[in-house]
Structures are given as C-alpha cells and as structure tokens.
Structure 1
C-alpha cells in the first residue's frame, strides 16, 4: 500500500483559548496512559518520532490541524502531563530558550533512567547542528525537544520557521547512532525544491573534512575566486590557477547565499587548532552554516564532489482525518465539541483506572478500547 499525504505548517497568530488547555492536558494524559499500558515508553518515543503520527495526535487533542503551533503547544502539553518517575518517559527542552535546557534536564532525570547523559547531550547538539548546518533549507530552528525513555531510547522533534514565507518545518529523529551519517525519521512541511543538503552526500562530507585541514587563507582565496566565477567571469580566465583549473565547463550553478569571509576564516582557524578527524567533532567545535556553504561550493566546483541539492521533506500520511475526533481550535473541520472531548476523556480514564486496579484485566480493558474504536469507525 502506498502511503502519501501533505502537511503544511503555516504560522498562526493567537493563543490557545483558556478553556481548551485543560481539555488538551487531560485528554493528552488519558491517551498517554493508554499508550504506556499498551506499548510501554519505548514505543511511545517511536510513535511520537513519526512526523505525521505526531500531527495526528495533535489533531486528536483539538489543536489546529495545519498550524506551526501544533508542534510547540502539543509538546508543551505533553511535557506538562508526563511524569518521568512513574512513566519511564521524559520530554526535555522546548521552544526558544527552553531548548537550551536539555543538558540540565538530563541531569535531573529520576534514578530509574539508565542513560548515558553525556552521550545524549552530544546527540542532542549534533541533531540540532545537522538540521541547521548540514541541511540549509531556509528554516531557522526555534524549537528542540528530546523525548527519552528509561532505557535510553530517544527521539528528537525540532521545528524551524521560514521568516519569509511564515511556514514551518518539523524535523523528527529516532535513536540513530550517528546523526551526521544517518537519516532522520522524517520531515513534515511544504516541499521547497533545491536546498543545500550536505547531510546526504558522503563524498562532499569527506572533502569538507579534508578541507578543514587546509590553510584557511587558501580556502578563503578559493571561495572568493569561485564567487567571482559565479557572478559572470569567464572560465578561461581561471586557467593556470592551480586546482581552480579543474572546474567543469558543464558545472551546474547552484546559488548559495554569500558568506562573511572574515567570519569563515575565524571559524576555520579555530576548528583547525583541534584537527578534527570527523564531521561530528567539527560541528561541535563550531562549524556553522556559513562555513559549510563556502566549503560545499569549493567541494562542488573544484573537487567535483557536490553536496546533495535534494529537499528531504517527506509525507508519511495525511493526518487531517484525526481533526474530526473532537474538532479543532480554529474551527477546522468544526469547533471543538467539549461534550465529545469530555466523553472521550472519561472513557479513556475509566479504562486505564480499571486496568490499574486489576492488572490481570489489562488485556480485557484494552480490548474494550479497541472495540470502542471499531464501533466509532463504523458509525462514522
């Protein structure tokens, strides 16, 4: 079966109504209880790491089906209602400055969490670097949440905003060993076309590592000459300029936003002092978007190892149908129906309470939930 769908995340102004927030909290907690009983915390991490499954969850609790706020509000609500000591699940970080709190929050986790804090802190930083530096798609990150279970299985959800289009993208990751060389779980957002995507080019990454060992003055000189070439100088004028003469006459010109050469020189000098042997270390030493753009251009036009220019956004499935559960904050597909929301909450809470009273009846209670779901599907 082919699964397709679309998820645009435009910037919506305004706040969640005060009357809706308690409903979202209670419904989120009730759903979380059922998921933890049914799957355990590791599976919850996996599900939330699916870009549009997350969007479907957002729709069920009454948030906008297509809003950039669906990420920040839903994760904020989930963080509020999650109890790490009881659930074996934690949600760290958040929007804006809260995203910087991941290291501190990792060190405050309850004792039941058997995790390598320093490794997770490094992973969190690398994931942010990959989606802001190795992928440059026009979206500036402003939200970063780390979702973690007690055994160290993790997921990252972060969001960026395109300040010109006012659309957002949500980036999802799940427990990869090396974010620099392994792919995300997925990206939700509108397709933009050509972007700078060093993340998906193994050859370009190898050239960049080699270039980091070069004299920064030489790299700066090559970059300025390449920019001059792109602006219209004939390639014949380059003959006899060492490696610059290797530029292909058929090279495809991909526009890259110009960089501040002095800033790039400063970063290159700093990184070179530590002689990193891999891109992970270079990124954590301060290698940023401007420097990677310059090095990518050199890798492409001089060494014939271009980065990928493919936009990696994808769409696992369309979550809009889940907006029909209780309605949406902005009235799409209809205003939130409080009576339906409280009926759903009460049903879920009763099932969970019954299961907790007698663990032997867990399967029976969950079967009742499935029967309820099937009956609802038939009526709709």
Structure 2
C-alpha cells in the first residue's frame, strides 16, 4: 500500500476515534483537534506543523525539528491506540507531544520522597473523627483555589503543591485568597529541598513555619528556575501557617475526611505516558512505579457512576481538564490508583498568627 494511502487510513481511523469519544461525551477536541480536522487525510507533517503553531514551538535547528517530529509520531501513535481501547479517560495532543517520555519524567516530575532529611514521623490527624462527610466537595467553588499555574521546564511540582495547600487553608481561615510564591521555596528552602531538582511538601511546610511565613507571588514572582534567596522586605506581606499534619497512609477514607475540610498536598506515581497526555475523564489507567509527582487535591465527587478525586496540577491550562485531573476512587486498593493514598499532607493555620 502506498505511503499516502496508509496516512489517509491512519488519520481516518484517528478521526473515528475522536468522533466516537466526542460524540458521546460532548468533547469536540479529544486529541486537541476537531473531529473534522482529524477526519481529513492529512499528511503527518501537516499535523505536526499545525500542532507546533498551536503550542508556539520553535526549534533551534532543522536537526532538532526532525528529532521532535519523530518523537511526535510515536506519541501520537500511543494516544490513538490508548483512546481506541479506553472508556473512562482520553489522551490528547498537548504541549508535551514532542517530548520523549524519559525526558518528560526527568524534567517535569520533581517529587523526591527519598531525599535526605527528617523522617516522615507519625503526626496527629485532626480529622480522624469526622463523620457525615458531604457527597461532594469542590474547593474551587468555595473560593479557596487560585488559577492553575505552570511550573515550566523545572521539577518544582513539590513547591506548587505546597503553595496551593497553603493558599487553601489561608483562605479558609481568613476569607482572603492570596496567590503565594513558589519561587521563595525554590530559592530559600534549600536545606532538604532542591529547587528544580525536586523536593518534598512536608519539608516545605516546615520551612514556611520556621521562616514565619511565605511571600505573595506579587512580591516574589516565579522565574521557572532557581535563583538567589531574597531577604524579607519590611513592608512585604507574608502568609503564615501554624503547623502541618500527615494523612494516614493507604486510607481513602482518611484522605476524604481531610479533603472535606481543606485542599491537600498529594504525591502520586505519575511516570506513565497516559499521565503525560491525559486530556479528560476519570483516570484509572497506567501509572508509574514510584511516587514522583506532586499535585493538590481540591475536591471529590461522582459523575456517570464514576467516583473521583479532583486534582490541581501545575502544567498550565493546556494540560488535562483546564489544568485539572480527575482520578478514580473507590477501587478497593488501599494505596488507590497511582498510589494516591500513599503520601498526603496538609498545613494547619490558626487565625491569630504572624501576617495574614
């Protein structure tokens, strides 16, 4: 069969997959393009070009462009094959479509649970006796979640997860939603955490406590790289916490109890291609083999018979469901899908404290 005919059949099948998924789930762009575009007999290079324009990709040399084109083809094949056999979640051509998977893991997954530092000691769990939990919770609707941020090409997910949890408890305690500084953690929390080289949320919570607060984004904006720690300015605003606690391991009920009261920092095993290209739906598929990424749980609910937890990611709004990720709960596995119940923690805050 001629190459042109093979490409035509390939994209016709791709269009069919997109059509089948979108028709039943009201999503006209399952893989990032309309079903009409995907049903046309595009040449693969044309799709790569249009994707490059959409995501503002600029390559330093023709050789680099050829390299990325080959990666793009392999990733697209995985997306199409996965969407063909799945029924609960779908993958899409997002900003990572020209990134090889091993490169992706080393660049964007920055949770380091085995780093040198204090052991993760058992702590009190203040929500242990919570009863009559609501059927659903969404802290976005309660005004406790800032807009989705983007960590860029830096393994700083740990800082974004920490900050999102602190933003949440601060809003709950004070009524004010403040966007806080991941960059301060990158630059100043260096005893046990290592900026783009990875970190751990409990260490970051401890830093915020010891530093008597964390600055706002306006005072200490994100640079997407490690910088020098800036000294506090007398007039700068800081947001404080009074402590932090760990959620009991491998307990879905415990995580839901905590999540009913505030957003929670969570570590998951995200080192899979399915996670890299997640587009929408309730995820229950391929995971990594170790805890390597940090997100923030901001709610839970149910839809079409699927129970899920809502996670805020830090890869911008072009990834997932406008920057969010729904992961299946109620599977019966103690550790949950992608080990989501293995490591979670949250900051605590008293209304009377330093700063906000």
Q: For the superposition of Structure 1 and Structure 2, which TM-score range results when normalised by the shorter chain?
A: under 0.3
* Structure with bigger gyration radius: 1
Length-normalised TM-score, structure 1: 0.24
Question: Which is bigger in relative contact order (C-alpha 8 A, separation at least 6)?
Answer: 1
